[in-house]
Amino acid sequence: MIRRLILIPVLAAIWVVLFAWAAGVPWDAPWTAHEHLALSGRDFQLQLGEGTIELDNLVINTLDSRGNGLQTAQLTHVRAERYPVLRYRISDFPDVLELALVFRRDTRDDVQTISLPAPQNGEITVDLSKYEEWRGEINEIGFAEYATAQLVPPSMIASFRPFRIEWAQLQPPAWDSVLPRLRSDWFGYRPWSMQSINTIGPEKQTLGRSWMMPILVFGALLSGLAACFLLRLPRARIMAVMCCIAGFTWISLDLRWLEDFFAKHQVIETIYAGKSWPLRHALQPDEETPRVAGEVVRIAEQQGVNRVLVDSSSPFTFLRLIYFLLPLNTAPLAQSMMETPGMAIPGDVLIAVYAGDWKYDKVTGLLDNGKSTISVKPVYEKGDLRVFRSQGRDP
């Protein structure tokens, strides 16, 4: 009986130490923060989008014409190192939007952003000290909202149920923020990381040492060893206890990842459920790229060519543009230039530059990116899309 009573504080100590280490709370931190910078929704000013003040909350009704929202509050000589913990509450936040912290440092042009867990009608606590951007003097802070990158079509956020910014708070580390901080890291919703289609749950690069899996595994292992040692269990029971702990930990992690998968799937349901297949196909996360690809296809038909070389400064847009140009014979422009150095591009080839770095000189008729030049003739230009036809001769 005495050994069982001793086991209780030992297990409590193991998990307290692990949780405190994972949350990055110093051992000499107070139980509650003695100072903090509190901002109500009323303190934020609308920079992008439209909203109203209701009591002390800022209600966001619409985003701007480009699908972005921004609300900021002025601060006076706040040192980032002194207030590394951010707590905030935003209610009714749409699941098709992504949330980011925006702050201005020492100079006017030094604006930084940090992606935040989406608020789900609860308080979120984030340790900002793990981000390199959170340093120096902070003069302005705020929240930015936009369609989830590479997932949500911009047209989906033209209308949404209004959400409200209730309050935000900066404070020094304290012991009472350990559990809220880990709850936000472990159970806060984050969209697909886009690193792998098999990535479920927040990845290690985002959470650092507060990553859920190693904390639970290590804590379960230490707890099992402590129980076996203090209770002096026989070898057969030790194996049974460790197997039960391993199974329980595995199931717990799987349930958490399954919940995260359901949350991500709910966003897909919001976008595509109840819509016809043609409409689903039209709902692309980058709705402008299919339109641009259609324009290039039309020009290729007019010019009577089947070979298109593509360039864009965004790898995502670049690959998507090649995809939408199929079944045309398409290839990366830069790669084609490297594979055939010193050789002229044939005259039956179109060059599509969409928000790319290539510059056209009207005097010389050359397309130049600082490394290579191509003799071309302009065919089409509108917005960020420029289409040229190779002249089939050396520049």
Residue 115: strand, helix, or coil: strand
DSSP state of 117: P
pLDDT band at 121 (very low <50, low <70, confident <90, very high): low
pLDDT value at residue 198: 45
Q: For residue range 350-380, what is the model confidence (pLDDT) as tens digits?
A: 888 998 888 888 888 888 877 778 888 888 8
pTM: 0.75
Q: Is the pLDDT of residue 281 over 60?
A: yes
pLDDT value at residue 24: 78
Q: Break the chain down into helix, strand, coil percent, rounded to 5.
A: 40, 30, 30
pLDDT value at residue 1: 65
Q: How far is CA 149 from CA 41, 119, 201, in A?
A: 26, 17, 17
Q: Is the pLDDT of residue 394 over 80?
A: no
pLDDT value at residue 58: 93
pLDDT value at residue 141: 93
Mean per-residue pLDDT, 320-347: 79
What DSSP string describes 182-196?
Answer: HHHHHHSB----SS-
Residue 176: strand, helix, or coil: helix
Q: For residue range 47-67, what is the model confidence (pLDDT) as tens digits?
A: 998 889 988 899 999 888 888
- H or E element, residue 13: helix 2-23
Quote the percentage of the chain above a pLDDT of 90. 13
Q: Is the pLDDT of residue 137 over 80?
A: yes
CA quadruple 338, 342, 343, 347: dihedral positive or negative?
Answer: positive
Distance CA 255, CA 308 (A): 47
pLDDT value at residue 165: 92
Q: Is the pLDDT of residue 303 over 70?
A: yes
CA-nearest of 208, 73, 59 to 143 is 73
**Cβ(22)–Cβ(11) below 8 Å:** no
pLDDT value at residue 199: 47
DSSP state of 104: E
CB atoms within 10 A of CB 35: 9
Distance CA 231, CA 168 (A): 47
Torsion angle, alpha carbons of 47, 60, 157, 93, to 10: 120
CB atoms within 10 A of CB 155: 13
pLDDT band at 201 (very low <50, low <70, confident <90, very high): very low
Q: For residue range 105-114, what is the model confidence (pLDDT) as tens digits?
A: 877 778 888 8
Q: Is the pLDDT of residue 395 over 50?
A: no
Distance CA 309, CA 333 (A): 5
pLDDT value at residue 204: 47
CB atoms within 10 A of CB 51: 21
CB atoms within 10 A of CB 370: 8
Q: Which residues contact 247 (CB under 8 A, 6 or more apart)?
A: none
Looking at per-residue pLDDT, the higher value among 252 and 71 belongs to 71
Q: For residue range 26-37, what is the model confidence (pLDDT) as tens digits?
A: 887 788 888 888
Domain ranges of the chain: 32-208, 288-390
Distance CA 378, CA 367 (A): 10
- H or E element, residue 278: helix 277-282
CATH of 32-208, one of 3.30.470.20, 3.30.420.40, 3.90.1150.10, 2.60.120.430: 2.60.120.430
Per-range mean pLDDT, top range of 8-22, 70-84, 155-169: 70-84
